[in-house]
Amino acid sequence: MRTPDIYIKGIGVHLPPTVTIDDAVRQGRYPAFEAEVHELGGAAVAGEVPAPELALRAAEQAYKRCGHRPDETDLLLYADSWHQGPDGWQPQYYLQRHLVGDDVLAVEVRQGCNGMFGALELAAAHLRGRPAPADGDARPPVALLVAADNFGTPMMDRWTMGPGYVAGDAASALLLTTEPSFARLLAVGSAAVSEAEQMHRGTEPLFPPGPTTGRPLDFRARNDEYKKAALAAGSGTGALVSVHVKTLDLVERTLAEAGIGKGDLTRVAYMNYSREIVEQRCMAALGLPMEKSTWDFGRTVGHLGASDQIVSLDHLLLTGELTPGDHLLMLGVGPGVTLSCAVVRVLHTAPWFN
């Protein structure tokens, strides 16, 4: 989807202190041989700070940085991939109560690690569908997108969550608007490979749901179960090939909608996975060098649920690795299997750096 009239007005990040892989190995939480193979550096750990509180802190920073008033917000989308609080309660209303107020459409986006991409598509359509301001004094609409997770809970071991990654806690926030600002969202898109739906489910029954029985989440075991089931059915790795092919098709389509080519990309923000995974599934597949990836940073904080790419965007801006005229490709994969992609162009220095 082309989105040339959608701009990023503010970015906020709350990243807790990190625990290093070396410390995790010494504590017996992470296998030493995997530390050598995957080259990961650590994971951000929030302790007992609830995910909605992390989200509130990131959102407050986004508003403060750009000087926008929280009560002048038209849409709130809250993305998450792990439990946020008591069952039967939804986290977006915590931000309504403590930040943006009641006159806002607030929706939780449950799309796993690709939740922020789904929120980008939904917010862009919402903002573009609103009527233009009637006069010069009317304010353009603004959407708040947040993502937050704290994985330090029972039924989850962040150090063995999945093959080639460890789980980090974080929150990220974006303010989107139709008013020209320092960065523009050029295009965003998604695709699905539903034949791989079982990849993140394994052979676990759909009912009763795991959290209601105390069953722990283990993506490693589910992935192994899926592969065994696929081999038994004679389908082999066909779904994985489909994921690869559709990823390349999605990137090509999104870049075309953005009006640029791969040669115009300054950096690529993928999932915070091992070097091998980032290189094989993303950078080499796109024909781009690892130097253009955000792996060097991502390896130090862990896989941050739906926040990987936004936290990387913030890091690149803070360190001066993205400057006016540069393009960032954000690419993600999540359960479904869903594939998501977005292109951002930096127009000028963010106002909080001036």
For every residue of 35-88, DSSP letters joined together read: HHHH---EEE--TT--HHHHHHHHHHHHHHHHT--TTS--EEEEE-SS--SSTT
pLDDT at 202: 86
What's the helix, strand, coil split of the chain in %, to 5? Answer: 40, 25, 35
If you ran DSSP here, which 8-state letter would residue 234 be given? T
3-state secondary structure at position 25? helix
Q: Give the span between the Cα atoms of 156 and 279, in whole angstroms.
A: 27
Strand partners, 190: 340
Of 20, 173, 158, 181, nearest to 92 by C-alpha is 173
**Which ranges of 107-264 would DSSP assign to H, the alpha helix?**
115-129, 210-213, 219-232, 238-258
Of 142, 174, 126, 146, nearest to 74 by C-alpha is 142
Q: Give the span between the Cα atoms of 127 and 288, in whole angstroms.
A: 33
The answer to whether 80 and 44 are in contact (CB under 8 A) is no
If you ran DSSP here, which 8-state letter would residue 165 be given? B
Strand partners, 142: 177
Neighbour tally for 225: CB within 10 Å: 17
pLDDT at 234: 64
The answer to whether 203 and 221 are in contact (CB under 8 A) is no
Q: Give the span between the Cα atoms of 219 and 164, in whole angstroms.
A: 11
Burial per residue of 192-215, b for 16 or more beta-carbon CB atoms within 10 angstroms, e otherwise? ebeebebbbebeeeeeeeeeeeee
* Domains located in the chain, CATH noted: 2-181 (3.40.47.10), 187-347 (3.40.47.10)
The structure's pTM equals: 0.95
Kindly give the confidence (pLDDT) of every residue in the chain, 354 residues in length, as a single tens digit, with 9 standing for 90 and above.
999 899 999 999 999 999 999 999 999 999 999 999 999 999 999 999 999 999 999 999 999 999 999 999 999 999 999 999 999 999 999 999 999 999 999 999 999 999 999 999 999 999 988 766 665 557 899 999 999 999 999 999 999 988 899 999 999 999 999 999 999 999 999 999 988 888 888 888 899 988 888 888 888 888 888 878 777 766 656 788 888 999 999 999 999 999 999 999 999 999 999 999 999 999 999 999 999 999 999 999 999 999 999 999 999 999 999 999 999 999 999 998 999 999 999 999 999 887
User: What residues contact residue 279 under an 8 Å CB cut-off, 6+ apart?
Assistant: 290, 293, 295
Of 31, 322, 285, nearest to 160 by C-alpha is 31
If you ran DSSP here, which 8-state letter would residue 133 be given? P
DSSP for 295-344, please give it: HHHHTTT-B-GGGHHHHHHHHHHHTTSS-TT-EEEEEEEETTTEEEEEEE
pLDDT at 151: 96
